[in-house]
Chain A
Amino acid sequence: MTQPTVAWTRVSRPTSAAVLGAQSGPGQTAPMERPKDRPNRGRTRPAWLSRSVINVVLLIAVAYALLPQVWLVMASTKDLHDLFGTNGFAPGAGFNLDENLRYLFQAQDGIYLRWLGNTVLYAGGGALAASLLCVMAGYAFDKLEVPGREALFGLVLVGVMIPSTALALPTYLLASKVGLANTFLGVFIPGLVFPFGVYLARIFSAAYVPDAVIGASRVDGAGEMRTFWSVAFPMMRPGFVTILLFQFTAIWNSFFLPLIMLSDTRLYPVNLGLYVWNTTAMSQGRPEDYLLAITGSLVAIVPLILLFLTLQRFWRAGMTAGAID
């Protein structure tokens, strides 16, 4: 991310006539390399856009994003007395993380691990299946001549516009009609529907899978399924991972649907479980549940961080690919 920014500052700075005159050497060749469609060609960059100002703004944004995490780490290492007795961003008098973790994993017969497992199933399994469906659908929308294709795709786009929270209640009512309320499938199946993923997959298919290759594959005698699996799918793999990550975080963060769908504690995803602990700490005078909610939150973000670190390059590629189209 940083490199393009630097290149851009080098390129655009000499565009002001004054700077252009003052500079010599390599700077002068820069304007020629500048893409023709730069919107701010020939315009002076205002002072408030200078690099140090931008850096300060970025630093503030980073601090803003990281402060809650710092608080979380600090709070997880405190006992109940320190939690209410010391500053949130300062360490407590004692180091209690190991104690808190032990308490977390033992509370209510170790239900926290089960919640984590549930979340992995809901988010991991759901995102895998959803991404596969998305890639297949996107590919079909892009490459196959299906009657009414654009109308159907329009319908998918309408789906993108509807927030999933708004659909939670109707989904629940439907699920209870077919007996899926308060079951694993009741939360799992809605996670398979991901219209934005279909939209992304179509773009990926158009960008990564040349029509000629598909044509060649057909000429060589491969059927539609074989063409998809052996030729198109490997080419779309970065797109697949991007969609997977998007949907994984969406399900991981999904709250309202599990809240109304599930009443059996053993089926809860981890965020719902943490929410229950947090409300009981607050409204029931069970302050020890604060520690559960806090330590549980810390543990719950670890898998997400790992996932992002390991799949980072796909993630980044996916983000920028979206920007090109």
Chain B
Amino acid sequence: MNWRKGAAVAVAIGTAALLAACGTNNGGAGAAAQSSPQQASGEIVFWSFLKGSDAVAAAFEKTHPGIKVKFETQAGGPDYYTKLSNAVKSGAVPDVAVAEYTRLPEIVSLGGAQDLTPAAGALVEKTFPEPIRQLVTLGGKTWGVPRDAAPMLYYYRKDFFAAHGLTPATTWDEFRALAAKVVKADRKARAAAYLSGDANLLTDLSWQAGAHWFGTDGDAWTVNVDDAASKKVVNYWQGLAKDHLVGTFPTYADEFWQGVQSNKVVGYVCASWCAGGLQATVPGQTGKWAVAELPSWDGKPASAMWGGSSFIIPKGAKNAAAAQTFINWITTDPTGIAAWYGSGTSSMYPASPELLPVAKKSFNTKFFGGQDIFEVGTRSYTAVTGGWTWGPAMSVTDKALLDRIGKIQAGSLGDALAGVDAETTKALQSRGLNVRG
């Protein structure tokens, strides 16, 4: 048991050092930690499933000789979060872990993350715009440092649209008409994909439509999954799928890519990071694709985010000081951000607008015929509907939604949302959280 005590002492010392750094710098703690990396040293263990993580770790070691990063690739998806929370339970935690915005509140509410406010609160406040800050802030405290935002975009086949005199829709009503025209133009082609095995699409489109599934009211959570906006969205997509105006796929995986390659998928809704995957998967369609903003319900620009990641220091991390230095560098330092683009295929949209030039410089837009996709991304990013909070039990909410969205032939998905709402509320209560409304 000796080593456990040692670790506890190390954490205490690390925290004390951070607090001291904070005290002396009077509000500029984050900046201080960032500009004086020699303060922290030692080895840190880094968990991530993001593309380019290995390159980022290597680039960091080169610029920070005192810190050694032990990078451990993780499998993405729900299993990752199970593993992370088990690691926290057991005490064998990494020093730095990736956490998508979607799951951050759950990690925090289960006590899995360290409060980064003293070390990085000012940095986050200074660097990131409000909608992103909101996703890593809970109860007035900062729990993670954002890396990328993930504004939603509409990807479409420019050549197909031009050949049939079509243009991307600006409202969802127009989009339905567009989808019908696409089917008319080519019996096999579809203007969008409905995902029966991935809850994100419907969740994020509900966000775009102005839904607020989760919120806080004093010390209680509010759950409102089956509000009018969400019902409208899921019923609309169920209608499109039922009328075969859009293709149905489990996820954006093999089956979907087969559709893309055989020119059956001529448009789909995804986030900024999908551009990299698209150009890597169908290099034969170079120059044929373009991106547009999402249609909205009232014609005014509106968007949401699909994914996007931040970095946290899990509770029990042994080298929190070095971990903080690492996190700050990979999320806010231009060199650090550039390292993510090292392979030249990542199209992630940096959460910090100041770093946008780095992204533009790194991503070759030949696949999109030279279109400035980051400029479209920026328009989408600034139109992200405000006030969205992810729930503290998204694993349950996600699963509950997944159980239902596959059954598009039976009943109304809008009604099914009530079931998702109930399951989520129950999960929150069973975890000892207050739920109101």
Measuring CB to CB, which residues of chain A are less than 8 angstroms from any residue of chain B? 80-81, 83-85, 169, 172-173, 175-177, 179, 181-182, 259-260, 263-265, 272, 275-276, 279-288, 290
Contacts and interface: CB of A to CB of B under 8 A. Distances in A.
B258 A85 contact: yes
B251 interface: yes
A83 B283 CA distance: 13
Given A260-B83, A286-B51, A179 B73 contact: no
Contacts of A285: 51, 273-274, 276-278, 280-281, 345
B312 to A, nearest CB: 16
A281 B47 CA distance: 18
Given A259-B79, A263-B72, A287-B281, A282 B258 contact: no
A276 B83 contact: no
A322 to B, nearest CB: 34
A288 B345 CA distance: 12
B94 A263 contact: yes
Interface of B: 3, 45, 47, 49-51, 72-77, 79, 82-83, 86-87, 89-92, 94, 251-254, 257-258, 260-262, 273-274, 276-278, 280-282, 284, 345
Nearest to B281: A287
Contacts of B345: 285
Nearest to A186: B92
Contacts of A259: 75, 79, 83
26 contacts: A81-B284, A84-B254, A84-B261, A84-B282, A85-B258, A85-B262, A172-B86, A175-B90, A176-B90, A176-B92, A181-B90, A259-B79, A260-B83, A260-B86, A263-B72, A263-B74, A264-B72, A272-B75, A279-B49, A280-B51, A283-B76, A284-B50, A285-B274, A285-B345, A286-B51, A286-B280
B278 to A, nearest CB: 7
B306 to A, nearest CB: 11
A287 B279 CA distance: 10
A265 B72 contact: yes
A111 B47 CA distance: 18
B257 A288 contact: no
A275 B83 CA distance: 14
Contacts of B73: 265, 276
Nearest to B73: A265
A169 B86 contact: yes
Nearest to A294: B254
7 shortest A-B CB distances, which residue pairs?
A285-B277, A176-B90, A287-B281, A181-B92, A84-B261, A176-B92, A283-B76
Given A176-B91, A181-B90, A181-B92, A283 B77 contact: yes
Contacts of A179: 3
Nearest to A174: B90
Contacts of A275: 75
Given A173-B89, A287-B281, 13 more contacts: A84-B258, A85-B258, A85-B261, A85-B262, A176-B87, A181-B90, A275-B75, A279-B77, A281-B253, A283-B77, A284-B277, A286-B280, A288-B280
A169 B85 CA distance: 11
A284 B53 CA distance: 12
A175 B3 CA distance: 15
Contact of B92 (A182, A265, A281): A182
B13 to A, nearest CB: 21
Nearest to A176: B90
Contacts of A279: 49, 75-77
B74 A177 contact: no
A282 B251 contact: yes
A291 B373 CA distance: 29
A283 B100 CA distance: 13
Contacts of B274: 285
A263 B49 contact: no
Contacts of B262: 85
**Most chain B CB inside 10 Å of its own CB: which residue of A263, A265, A288:** A263
